Structure 1
């Protein structure tokens, strides 16, 4: 998860005290990761959930193209686990992360449930899918959901908060505060620049106190 912060904050020297004025969360297309270790489908699912988000969910042809890009050329004609499965022969196909199964990209003649026990799906050639026995060990593809949170807060300071060293110190203090609140370890905190190239904009209050803000 990548977090970009547009911050309006109240500070004294490098002491950071801030309140959130607004919070916007948006999702970006997932990133796919090829896992070159042979595992059963269930083991691959567990691995992806521990290290990423889940086994790969494929929602459209763009996802198919992205997966083909991350798979090594010498593996693109081999079986590679994705997150599609069913619980038995008569059950519907579902994604491991419970996403709706609306997009289909089966290879010709697939799924065929060969030997009556092919309840897990893999990519088998150029991104197309085949059904396979879940107990067979293959490489796999995980996906990670990417979310962006834009946080708007307020700052009051006599310092130049657009100075790179000051911004660095403020960001460090913010991260410390967020970590105390359970900030994810794999998240990244960064500034969002305004149209003038600065993070903060100034506004003059009626009492002549200068607040430095961003929008």
Structure 2
């Protein structure tokens, strides 16, 4: 770790090896051995090519029919599988973290990180948080990280899909100045005055409006409950808290509430607090300073890292402070398989069948980013005699 200065600014970089995977390469091999792709008529053997760490990524698999005479010649094909992604949405990569001392708004910092590195930093665990803390200068100041609070991304309880409810929505109308997320504690929505929406603390008690799908009716429950208690009630006795998905639905709901005299009534709209990172990954870690987040001035929707404590605070996204970026370099893993068979391996149909079964196996194990290629190689006997001449050298194909 060293500080460097360039064109009027300085940044410090630290590399960290990161492997996140639901399935290691060895587990993939074990899955191949036990899969239906290889019947009892086949023998599967594997060996590492060469010795040492540099050779550890190259692996050859040999499939030999157990009943086949070793002295007989037959076609031998090589199957190459390139694995770019291990697990669903999780990659084998090397991370490099950067502390940039330029002063920028959150959006400017995001653009800078995406132009020069990968993105604003995502903090997955306390070790990364500590690493960033060790990189930063010991000053009482702040630096942007990738976490932000999107006050216009909401979900319906009945559907659970994110959608945008902006200030110019066609029929979902916010009350004046809403949503404002007072004290960073308003993540559920109530109708105010029967027609306009207001974000409110989810623990507040109000009457609520249920929807019954079997009768396509709206039921106003005058008993005051918290949002989650109202949701449970509606799901128990009806279908769910009501959604408003069209002008027609809104007109019916307005008629249902007409003359009820309620100031606020819960509907099914809600959002998850602090759920978004700039690079669109997911992390549930939080490390707030005491009394944070608080949305003190009703405009604090971006998160900064306190350089002297390593704790987080919400802040105005337009503030100009330093920031943390990261670079992720994806690594590729190559698995080479050599198949020998009594079947005609020249047949495109047979190759497709093997490829389809391999693809299905890898997808079932969480591998989504891969490529399969076929290549004809020398005969089995020639291949064996050639191997006897090799004195343990290592050849790695990347």
1: CA distance, partners of 2:79 / 2:333: 10
2: CA distance, partners of 1:48 / 1:107: 25
Rg (Cα) greater in structure: 2
Query: How many residues in Structure 1 have an aligned counterpart in Structure 2?
Result: 153
1:21 aligns with 2:66: no
Tell me how large the CA RMSD over aligned residues is: 3.2
Change (3 A) 1:153 1:214: farther
1: CA distance, partners of 2:127 / 2:386: 54
Partner of 1:186: none
Other structure's SS at 1:97 match: coil
Partner of 2:144: 81
1:136 aligns with 2:319: yes
1:99 aligns with 2:277: no
Change (3 A) 1:208 1:114: closer
Partner of 1:117: 299
1:49 aligns with 2:231: no
Change (3 A) 1:67 1:206: closer
Other structure's SS at 1:72 match: coil
Partner of 1:148: 331
Partner of 2:362: none
The answer to whether the Cα contact below 8 Å between 1:118 and 1:131 also exists between their aligned partners in 2 is yes
Pairing of 1:151-166 with structure 2 (within 5 A): 151=334
1:205 aligns with 2:270: no
Change (3 A) 1:206 1:129: closer
Q: CA deviation at 1:72?
A: 2.1
Q: CA deviation at 1:58?
A: 0.6
The answer to whether the Cα contact below 8 Å between 1:152 and 1:214 also exists between their aligned partners in 2 is no
1: CA distance, partners of 2:82 / 2:94: 20
Superposition misfits of 4+ residues, deviation over 4 angstroms = 4-8, 206-213
- Residues 30-51 of structure 1: CA deviation (Å, up to 9, x unaligned): 3210011000000101111111
- Where in structure 1 are there 5+ consecutive unaligned residues? 9-18, 155-203
TM-score, normalised relative to structure 2: 0.34
1: CA distance, partners of 2:302 / 2:332: 35
The answer to whether the Cα contact below 8 Å between 2:122 and 2:283 also exists between their aligned partners in 1 is no
Change (3 A) 1:127 1:208: closer
Q: Which has the higher contact order (CA 8 A, sep 6+)?
A: 1
- Where in structure 2 are there 5+ consecutive unaligned residues? 1-14, 18-53, 60-77, 85-90, 152-180, 182-186, 188-270, 338-381
Change (3 A) 1:53 1:20: farther
2: CA distance, partners of 1:22 / 1:213: 19
2: CA distance, partners of 1:20 / 1:53: 33
